Structure 1
Amino acid sequence: MSVQNLMNKVVVVTGGSAGLGEQICYEAAKKGAIVVVCARRINLIGKVKERCEELSGKPAFDYQLNVADPENVEHVFEKIQAEVGSIDVLVNNAGFGIFENFVDINMDLAKNMFEVNILGMMFFTQKTAIQMVEKGHGHIINIASMAGKMATAKSTVYSATKFAVLGFSNALRLELKPAGVSVTTVNPGPIHTEFFDKADPSGDYLSSIDRLVLDPNKLAKEIVNAMGTCKREINRPRAMEVAARFYTLFPHIGDFLAGGLFNKK
């Protein structure tokens, strides 16, 4: 499946009510996909669904989904199978972060971050992967983060969840490749979305790294263009990708970069 034949393919996007997830829905719809919008905020997903139908000229679907609730995940997955059909592309975009010093963070919040960012994603992915393996094709795209490649202060728990997403995705890629199923990780730096309304309520972080902040529309186009390919990773912005490579190859320099140039929280 290449980007040219996303036509009539079922593309499921979690966290699709706003931000990057919303833009991925629209870009997939422009390619003629049947888009399935999943998110907690039922007051927003209907609007995204309607816009997808306008862009694609095809039916779109919306389901209220709390990925931290395994029973809800199973219920929504079964409804998609019954009402839409088998999934061709799954984009695991749901997630959130809080930027606080670890000694100050509420551990209930930390637990919830793991439930949303990694455990819920794994549960939905397993159900989808079983179906894709049976069909012999499919594409799973996991939205990780540069925080999963290069941890910085005040992102201890968030970085831990995204390191887990990367490790999970890398192993899953190897497991599913023989079955014809691709796995891609997307590792963005800061994106100009409402993610930072919760992560950085003051707005100081985004303003301090303005030159590195990504446009969600451009990133969404790149992600949708990768659908149906065997692309391993998408890393943006490129400056952070280079820094992350330094972080791995030259740990002391990496600590300097992570603790200074790219640590503005």
Structure 2
Amino acid sequence: MKNALITGATKGMGRAIAAAFAHEGVNLAINSRNAAELASFKTELLQINPTIKVFTAVADGSNKEDLLFFADSAADELGPINIVVNNLGMYQFSRIMDDESDLFEKMVNTNLMPAYELYRFFGKSMVAAGEGHFFNICSVASLNPVVDAGMYSVTKAALLSLNNVMRLEMQDYGVKVTAVIPGSTLTSSWDGQKVNKDTMVLPEDIASAIINIYKMSKGANVDQIIIKPAGGQL
């Protein structure tokens, strides 16, 4: 049985991805700062598939010490981690000239640092095993900057660059690395705005893509996948 660690798994895309892996019989490690949310979601995942193990940790994924505690504890509890989904992220509607003084650090620590640290933490064990898969949830802003979300665009572009370096480092060792690049997706980032879900990508669409990519043959890798609304970006 495989083991997957997913950051930001109690909401939005991360939640849908965790549920999809549960359906596939994959053990899960998830974290959140909210203990009640974690306990509730663990119950839901075990209802989806009672045969899997679900490890939870109350930990802030944007805090390096918490993140590495979560990673180490997950490996101790479940065994070798075969799949890492770097989903944790934050969106801030702000032009760089108008950013609050601490936004740069928050954005880097949420959108970029976790993927870097988890790669360093799990990469060597995956190399030793000759298998594994990292999924990095980027954004169309990784490719086309959004001026009204300046630091979001910068950190997501950096995440895509990190993804590409990871893939090159891992390609000789049987470890796969995939950048998932969603367009307008119905998550909490849209809270407070009037939107039509039929014109958007749904979290379940992202989850379905990841599962299909994960299930490909050993010799195939999807370097990156762009999933945008059929009618164009909102």
Tell me the TM-score normalised to structure 1 length: 0.80
Q: Check conservation: 2:31, 2:61, Cα contact below 8 A.
A: no
2:124 maps to a residue whose letter is: I
Percent same amino acid at aligned positions? 26
Residue 55 of structure 1 corresponds to 48
Residue 193 of structure 2 corresponds to 203
Q: What's the Cα RMSD here?
A: 1.9
- Distance in 2, matches of 1:36 and 1:224, equals 17
Tell me the TM-score normalised to structure 2 length: 0.91
- Distance in 2, matches of 1:190 and 1:43, equals 29
Deviation at 1:186, TM superposition (A): 0.4
Could you tell me which of 19, 28, 31 is aligned with 2:21? 28
Work out whether 1:148 is the aligned partner of 2:142.
Answer: yes
Work out whether 1:43 is the aligned partner of 2:36.
Answer: yes
Rg (Cα) greater in structure: 1
- Distance in 1, matches of 2:96 and 2:145, equals 13
Deviation at 1:108, TM superposition (A): 0.2
Residue by residue over 1:35-55, the C-alpha shift from the partner in whole angstroms, topping out at 9 and shown as x without a partner, is 212223322122222221122
Residue 224 of structure 2 corresponds to 233
Q: Check conservation: 1:173, 1:183, Cα contact below 8 A.
A: yes
Could you tell me which of 205, 209, 220 is aligned with 1:222? 209
Q: Check conservation: 1:96, 1:113, Cα contact below 8 A.
A: yes
- Distance in 2, matches of 1:221 and 1:236, equals 11
SS in 2 for 1:132: helix
- Distance in 2, matches of 1:135 and 1:113, equals 33
Which of 45-54 and 168-177 deviates more?
45-54
Deviation at 1:149, TM superposition (A): 0.5
Deviation at 1:101, TM superposition (A): 2.2
Residue 188 of structure 1 corresponds to 182
SS in 2 for 1:107: coil
SS in 2 for 1:178: coil
1:63 to 1:130, Cα distance in 2 relative to 1, 3 A:
same
Residues 31-180 of structure 1 mapped to structure 2, 5 A cutoff: 31-58=24-51, 59-180=53-174
Deviation at 1:218, TM superposition (A): 2.1
1:146 to 1:212, Cα distance in 2 relative to 1, 3 A:
farther
Task: Give the aligned length.
Answer: 229
- Distance in 2, matches of 1:41 and 1:189, equals 28
Deviation at 1:125, TM superposition (A): 1.8
1:56 maps to a residue whose letter is: N
Q: Check conservation: 2:83, 2:132, Cα contact below 8 A.
A: yes
- Distance in 2, matches of 1:203 and 1:72, equals 32
1:98 maps to a residue whose letter is: Q
1:150 to 1:52, Cα distance in 2 relative to 1, 3 A:
same
Which of 14-23 and 227-236 deviates more?
227-236
- Distance in 1, matches of 2:163 and 2:177, equals 7
Deviation at 1:192, TM superposition (A): 0.8
Deviation at 1:57, TM superposition (A): 2.0
Residue by residue over 1:49-97, the C-alpha shift from the partner in whole angstroms, topping out at 9 and shown as x without a partner, is 2221122222212112322222112211111121111101000000101
- Distance in 2, matches of 1:189 and 1:70, equals 28
- Distance in 2, matches of 1:72 and 1:134, equals 25
Deviation at 1:119, TM superposition (A): 1.4
SS in 2 for 1:235: strand
1:203 maps to a residue whose letter is: Q
Deviation at 1:211, TM superposition (A): 6.1
Identify unmatched segments of 5+ residues in structure 1: 1-7, 241-260
SS in 1 for 2:9: coil
Q: Check conservation: 2:127, 2:173, Cα contact below 8 A.
A: yes
